[in-house]
Structure 1
Amino acid sequence: MITTEFDFLRDFLKQRSGLVLSNEKQYLVESRLIPVTRRHNLASLSALVQAIRKPGSTALQEEVVEAMTTNESFFFRDKTPFDHFKGLMLPNLMEARASRRKMRIWCAAASTGQEPYSLAMVLKEMRAKVGSFGFEILGTDISNEVLDKAKAGTYSQFEVQRGLPIQMLVKYFAQEGELWQISSEIRSMVQWRKLNLLQSFSQLGEFDIIFCRNVLIYFDQETKKDVLHRIAKQMPKDGYLVLGAAETVVGLTDAFEPVPEHRGLYRPKQQSADAATVRKLGSAFPKLSALTSP
């Protein structure tokens, strides 16, 4: 692949998915896109670039983006966020939502579905404590292919062996040949929707808990800031944001602050009463605000 073609694909992928590729990643582009060229009977990657430049190539463009998207996921990945979910987030929010008895959870970049299904299984295991509390779990991803797999809830032997306790495999899955399908009871607890995090998601509404793990690491700094800023707008002041182990809000946004002693867990930053009062007074008495400003 010549440099100009790689540069085009790099800019195209950043614009469409936020994915940032260094010069050293040319081998990755080639390995993931060669199968696309074969499926479309294109002679080379150069021919693929020419094809996606043409008007009316939307479907091919989406296929290229999906081919380059990393879809690594497994049940109860990293374990700690699920411990936080069960031991901290749920108890606190169930107490705070005692009157309405409803809670919304969003798993962004949910890939093939293991994360939201893991949360659903946790809730099912806690049904004695949860009682009649209502939960809505939404899983979103940019890729149609992984969403189709997530909706089916069918996984290989290798996939169910990665992080899934054997007790839960026996309780919530049925074996179908060499595959395992999660029960309809668990599948019905999760809704699915295609979503590109670079685009507006304000229409999704407000969420009490947002899992956005292991996706920001593929974005540049400005894109990270933008996504975090927009996520903050979708959360109540007592909500929780869960990021991946290698991700942080520090240095990116003042909208969130870490939850002490809970790695990867963040809450919307709480304004001090004094600061909030000053702002209210400033809006009511603008001249006084101007006089007292440093």
Structure 2
Amino acid sequence: MTAEITQPDYESFRLFLHDACGILLGAASQKQVRRRLLRILGDHGLAGLPELADRLAGPGRNALREQVIDLLTRAESRWFTDELAFRFIAEQWLPAQGLPTQARNHVDRPLAIWSAACCTGEEPYGVAMLIEEFREAHPGRLADVTIVATDVAKGLLDTARQGEYDLMTGEDGLSAARRAAFFSQTGPDRWQVSPELRARVGFRKLNLREQSLPAGFDLVLCRNVLRYFTANVRQDLLTRVHRSLNPGGYLVLASTEAISGLTDLYEPVQCSPGIVYRKK
């Protein structure tokens, strides 16, 4: 049996998936999404999207739901993507936090960072690398840092906790120096994040549509997430993320994303090469 996806079925499934899982499939990524949906249909011997929707709506289908969420929200595995986020952290945020306590204008406590949609872990591990590099360059200038990383997909989190990746030299965004400092080779083109760096990141499952989000963060990275949600859901999420930030904390979105409205909650801050948002 060869599965097929008609345009009407695709549009109906888009609406179903948004209502059932909170995922909004964009039109721009339809070719990639279709390819991934065909893989799911083939894996489960399903004739089309209506049958998949019936399966997802039925009881006891958590494993299938996890697979659908995993595949449809999975990004390409690359390190230090989006220059905005990592340059801001390395060049502006970390140096400011690394000042003596009295100059930071907050109590001497561990700093807290939240990677709100961590996928397979490249983002929080990348942040942990920047922190280690800062500490090496500025001994004694940075307090303890807690990194919390969350995602809605269990399969992605399992990969992140393992911290083992296919790394192709020159194609993965990692410098040779970082590969040598923070990874060990486990096979041909296969590398694992060091135990020390893995221990610095705490992973947990979380659906961002839940009303209760973790709180007490100085920095929140919520990149390439808003595109999956409708405008109303995006505004609700950004309002709740505001409550997750400590006073003066920063929210970093992808360089292609921006906050519309909510001027009473966030102050845009110009940095090179883009804009981040500070809690008012």
* Pair 1:121 & 2:125 matched: no
Matches within 5 A, 1:27-176: 27-95=31-99, 96=104, 99-128=107-136, 129=138, 131=140, 133-158=143-168, 161-176=171-186
Alignment coverage as a number of residue pairs: 268
Matches within 5 A, 1:184-203: 184-202=195-213
Q: Which amino acid aligns with 1:124?
A: E
Larger radius of gyration: 1
* 1:221 alignment partner in structure 2: 231
SS at match of 2:113: strand
Instruction: Work out which of the residue numbers 8, 15, 22 in structure 2 matches 1:18.
Output: 22
Matches of 1:257 and 1:188, distance apart in 2: 33
Matches of 2:153 and 2:92, distance apart in 1: 32
Matches of 1:221 and 1:157, distance apart in 2: 36
**Range moving further from structure 2, 115-124 or 65-74:** 65-74
Q: Compared with structure 1, are the counterparts of its residues 254 and 33 closer, same or farther at alpha carbon in structure 2 (3 Å cutoff)?
A: same
Matches of 1:240 and 1:43, distance apart in 2: 46
Q: Compared with structure 1, are the counterparts of its residues 170 and 26 closer, same or farther at alpha carbon in structure 2 (3 Å cutoff)?
A: closer
Q: How far 1:59 moved relative to its partner?
A: 2.6
* 1:9 alignment partner in structure 2: 13
Q: Deviations over 1:53-90 (max 9, x none)?
A: 32332332332222221323421112332221122212
SS at match of 1:176: strand
SS at match of 1:244: coil
Q: Is the 8 A contact 2:24 2:227 kept in 1?
A: no
Q: How far 1:26 moved relative to its partner?
A: 5.7
**Range moving further from structure 2, 83-92 or 39-48:** 39-48
Q: Is the 8 A contact 2:41 2:47 kept in 1?
A: yes
TM-score normalised according to structure 2 size: 0.85
Q: How far 1:226 moved relative to its partner?
A: 0.9
Matches within 5 A, 1:241-280: 241-251=251-261, 254-262=264-272, 263-269=274-280
Which blocks of at least 5 consecutive residues in structure 1 are unaligned?
270-294
Q: Compared with structure 1, are the counterparts of its residues 33 and 69 closer, same or farther at alpha carbon in structure 2 (3 Å cutoff)?
A: same
Q: Compared with structure 1, are the counterparts of its residues 236 and 77 closer, same or farther at alpha carbon in structure 2 (3 Å cutoff)?
A: same
Q: Is the 8 A contact 2:151 2:207 kept in 1?
A: yes
More helix by share: 1
Taking only the aligned residue pairs, the percentage that are identical comes to 35
Q: Compared with structure 1, are the counterparts of its residues 159 and 230 closer, same or farther at alpha carbon in structure 2 (3 Å cutoff)?
A: farther
